[in-house]
């Protein structure tokens, strides 16, 4: 299990969301409140859109709480759209190629959750990945396979359809192998313009996911911070801030749904997973 955050809005220094809030993502790496595991110390990563053609990536295999480079970079790098992830492995190796976010062209992807009985279904999943994408697989996680399956099923043309196809296919393969509840996930996906977030699980009891509705709420929550623009929105696997404030600021994403954030507008739609024929 892992924790993550995704941001869209006016450019802010990464530290505004990664380090400064109470119960920030970095705090959660040492002690998460609502996750399956309290410690998320098996690596981390941040992906951001800057001035380059592709988004930047900074990942490490050590715990995020003790990485001095991250502290410095987060106070130097400003971005209008970024995501960050802290990892608690569900069994695969702790290595940079297993750290989120994953990148393909201008797309970033990160995941919290698990493909159950992954070693049993992995071969069938890998075989379904487009041969054109196959050489790009560089790690050994279920998450990276999910990304390449979603890409195979059209994520770049229609992100929601790509993810629905990926979910449907993994559930199909899992059930063929006798796995009752094949998938558990929250996802963040970005292309530099739009932020997509997903909450889904085969059992209908998904990992938590929240979004911030308006800048008024964000500003109330971060009273000392005036850097957020009117269209600033964040999606998080666990509320930042004090427990009391959290309820007022963060809105839970419903089961089996997608959240689309573009230019400050938030749209929530139901997911219809189906295996590509």
Nearer to its own copies, 119 or 220 (CB): 119
Q: Determine which residue in the list 7, 44, 58, 147 makes contact with its own copies, applying CB under 8 A.
A: 58
**By CB under 8 A, is residue 94 in contact with its own copies?**
yes
Q: Is 178 in the site for its own copies (CB under 8 A)?
A: no
DSSP letter at 206? Answer: P
CA atoms within 13 A on the CB side of 64: 32
Cα–Cα separations (whole angstroms), residue 201 to 20, 89, 268: 31, 18, 17
Q: Any contact of residue 31 with its own copies (CB under 8 A)?
A: yes
Task: Work out which of 89, 194, 256, 257 binds its own copies, going by CB under 8 A.
Answer: 89
Of the candidate residues 10, 19, 20, 30, the single one contacting its own copies (CB under 8 A) = 30
Q: Is the bond preceding residue 101 a cis peptide, omega within 30 degrees? A: yes
At 233, which helix (H) or strand (E)? strand 233-236
Nearer to its own copies, 12 or 209 (CB): 12
Residue in 24, 34, 95, 194 binding its own copies, rule: CB under 8 A = 95
SS3 25: helix
Residues 6+ apart with CB under 8 A from 215: 9, 228, 229, 230, 231, 232, 264
Residues 173 and 227: their CA atoms lie apart, in Å, by: 46
How far apart are the two ends of the chain, measured CA to CA in Å? 31
| Minimum distance of its own copies from residue 167's CB (angstroms) | 22
| Radius of gyration of the chain measured on its C-alpha atoms | 17
Binding residues for its own copies, total number by CB under 8 A: 47
Residue 122 Cβ vs its own copies, minimum distance, rounded to whole Å: 6
Judged by CB under 8 A, the chain residues 108 through 147 that form the site for its own copies are 119-120, 122-123, 126-127, 131, 134-135, 137-140
Nearest CB to its own copies, comparing residues 118 and 221: 118
Contact 230/26 with Cβ under 8 angstroms?
no
| Residues whose CB falls within 8 Å of the CB of residue 24, separated by 6 or more in sequence, listed in order | 17, 18, 240
DSSP symbol at 103:
E
CB of 88 to its own copies, least distance (A): 10
Q: How far is CA 182 from the centre of its chain?
A: 19
Q: Does 78 bind its own copies (CB under 8 A)?
A: yes
Q: Per rule CB under 8 A, is residue 68 in the interface with its own copies? A: yes
| Residues 250-269 within binding reach of its own copies (CB under 8 A) | none
Least gap, CB of 20 to its own copies (angstroms)? 14
- Is residue 229 within the footprint of its own copies (CB under 8 A)? no
> Binding residues for its own copies, per CB under 8 A?
30-31, 38-39, 41-42, 48, 50-52, 56-63, 66, 68-69, 72-73, 75-78, 89, 92-97, 119-120, 122-123, 126-127, 131, 134-135, 137-140
């Amino acid at each position: 299990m892992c924790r993550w955050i995704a941001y869209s809005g006016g450019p802010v220094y990464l530290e505004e969301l990664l380090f400064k809030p109470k119960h920030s993502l970095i705090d959660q790496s040492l002690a998460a409140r609502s996750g399956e595991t309290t410690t998320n110390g098996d690596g981390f990563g941040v992906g951001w859109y800057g001035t380059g053609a592709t988004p930047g990536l900074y990942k490490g295999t050590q715990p995020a709480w003790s990485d001095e480079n991250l502290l410095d970079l987060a106070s130097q790098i400003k971005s209008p759209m970024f995501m960050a992830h802290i990892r608690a492995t569900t069994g695969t190796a702790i290595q940079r190629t297993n750290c989120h976010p994953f990148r393909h062209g201008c797309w970033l992807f990160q995941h919290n959750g698990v493909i159950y009985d992954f070693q049993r279904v992995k071969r069938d999943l890998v075989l379904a990945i487009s041969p054109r994408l196959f050489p790009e697989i560089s790690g050994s996680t279920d998450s990276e396979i999910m990304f390449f399956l979603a890409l195979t099923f059209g994520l770049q043309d229609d992100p929601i359809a790509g993810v629905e196809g990926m979910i449907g296919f993994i559930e199909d393969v899992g059930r063929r192998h006798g796995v009752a509840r094949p998938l558990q996930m929250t996802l963040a996906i970005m292309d530099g313009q739009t932020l997509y977030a997903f909450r889904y699980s085969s059992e209908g009891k998904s990992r938590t996911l929240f979004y911030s509705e308006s800048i008024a709420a964000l500003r109330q929550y971060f009273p000392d911070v005036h850097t957020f623009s009117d269209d600033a929105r964040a999606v998080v696997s666990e509320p930042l801030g004090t427990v009391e404030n959290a309820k007022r600021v963060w809105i839970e994403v419903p089961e089996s749904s997608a959240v689309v954030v573009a230019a400050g507008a938030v749209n929530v739609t139901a997911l219809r997973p189906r295996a590509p024929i």
